[in-house]
């Protein structure tokens, strides 16, 4: 079974400086055309948004770490693979189909989604591997599109699907396939409708880069990062709990709920503390206490009243 590997390399050492600098020089000239196109890709374009709720005032993780220290197995399992292998991925044209138990199924073009009221949401992100970041996302509440499709009373869960493109995603080719594709994630409908749950189209004032899930990805800040599925092409409202990729791959280690919980250890490591990427100088240590629901308990604990959160990991 594939398994997460705890990080050993500091994020700042991952992208060679020369590659990073040449990418930046390129950005200046190319940004204008991507603004017209409305979404990013291998290069980011400026994106404006109004300040949104729930912002943490904790120190932001440096943008270089957010864009070079990634998990996106469709481009490889190494932390630097997504930024290095996703240059030829095409996030445009793009659309997201919303179907299933809804009165008005709809396919949303990315241009239409980018015109929704965009907010900056600065959230903590805690990966199940034991590291965390603080990221200024730009996006809109998922409920903004769920409201448009008229969910039926029978809809209890929402399932999300990432694009499958072996021609552009090197992790989907070859003998070793770390996961089954498409990458699938899911939420209960009330989790999906929660105001903290967003679809992000940008970060740090720019459209998403391919490695971060261009052109559109989910962000659910009180759950482990693997729930925040990238490069979404389909959202389906369903009656039964969706068969999610990591749970299917190893149900003992990865649950459907996967709420951040310092009291429930991963079978192979403790979840009591975390390493904030960018902190701690040379000797990286996971010395920051992990908070229940990643610090969003006040907002979301009520969703799980009466549930045994140890059994329903
Ligand atoms: N989505 C897809 N499609 N494929 C992936 O491998 N990795 C997940 C999540 N979304 C993943 C994905 C994991 S494990 C994490 S921690 C976050 O994306 C990382 O997001 P980031 O690289 O933008 O920080």
Q: Whose CA is nearest to atom 9 of ligand 1?
A: 226
Domains and CATH numbers, the chain: 46-304 (3.90.420.10)
12 in Cβ contact with 171 (< 8 Å): no
Q: What is the spatial distance between Cα 218 and Cα 139, in angstroms, rounded to a whole number?
A: 9
Q: What is the pairing mode between strands 119-126 and 273-276?
A: unpaired
Question: Which of 257, 252, 275 is closest to 79 using CA atoms?
Answer: 275
Model pLDDT for residues 63-121, shown as the tens digit of each residue: 999 999 999 999 999 999 999 999 999 999 999 999 999 999 999 999 999 999 999 99
> Given the structure tokens 């409920």, which residue do they identify?
143
Cα distance between residue 86 and residue 46, in whole Å:
20
- Alpha-carbon span 120 to 221, nearest angstrom: 14
The answer to whether the CB of 192 is under 6 A from ligand 1 is: no
Cα 69 to ligand 1 centroid, rounded to whole Å:
10
- For the chain, what percent of residues have pLDDT higher than 90? 81
Contact 44, 207 (CB under 8 A): yes
Phi, psi of 81 (to 5 degrees): -60, -45
Cα–Cα distance for residue pair 65/83, rounded to 1 Å: 11
226 ligand 1 Cβ < 6 A: yes
**Cβ(74) – ligand 1 distance below 6 Å:** yes
The protein residue whose alpha carbon is closest to atom 16 in ligand 1 is: 225
Which pLDDT tens digit goes with each residue over 268-312? Answer: 999 999 999 988 766 677 789 999 999 999 999 999 999 999 988
> Ligand 1 pocket, 228 CB below 6 A?
yes
Ligand 1 contact via 290 beta carbon (within 6 Å) = no
Token reading at 55: 């912002």
């Amino acid at each position: 079974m594939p398994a997460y590997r705890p990080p050993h390399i500091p994020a700042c050492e991952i992208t060679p400086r020369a590659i990073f600098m040449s990418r930046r020089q390129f950005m200046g000239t190319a940004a204008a055309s991507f603004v017209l196109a409305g979404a990013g890709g291998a290069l980011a374009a400026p994106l404006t948004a109004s300040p949104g709720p729930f912002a943490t005032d904790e120190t932001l993780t440096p943008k270089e770490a957010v864009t070079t220290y990634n998990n996106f197995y469709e481009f490889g399992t190494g932390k630097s693979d997504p930024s290095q292998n996703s240059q030829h991925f095409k996030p445009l044209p793009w659309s997201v189909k919303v179907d299933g138990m809804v009165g008005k199924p709809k396919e949303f073009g990315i241009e239409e989604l980018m015109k929704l009221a965009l907010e900056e949401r600065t959230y903590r992100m805690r990966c199940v591997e034991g590291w965390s970041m603080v990221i200024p996302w730009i996006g809109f509440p998922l409920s903004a599109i769920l409201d448009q499709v008229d969910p039926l009373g029978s809809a209890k869960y929402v399932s999300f699907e990432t694009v499958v493109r072996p021609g552009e995603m090197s992790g989907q080719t070859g003998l070793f396939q770390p996961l089954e594709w498409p990458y699938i994630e899911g939420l209960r409908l009330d989790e999906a409708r929660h105001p903290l749950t967003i679809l992000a189209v940008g970060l740090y004032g720019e459209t998403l880069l391919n490695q971060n899930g261009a052109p559109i990805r989910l962000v659910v800040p009180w759950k482990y990062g693997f729930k925040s599925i990238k490069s979404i092409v389909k959202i389906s409202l369903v009656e039964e709990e969706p068969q999610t990729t990591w749970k299917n791959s190893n149900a003992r280690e990865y649950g459907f709920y996967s709420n951040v919980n310092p009291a429930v250890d991963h079978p192979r490591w403790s979840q009591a503390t975390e390493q904030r990427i960018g902190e701690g100088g040379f000797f990286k240590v996971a010395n920051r206490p992990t908070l229940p629901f990643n610090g969003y308990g006040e907002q979301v604990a009520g969703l799980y009243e009466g549930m045994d959160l140890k059994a329903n990991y």
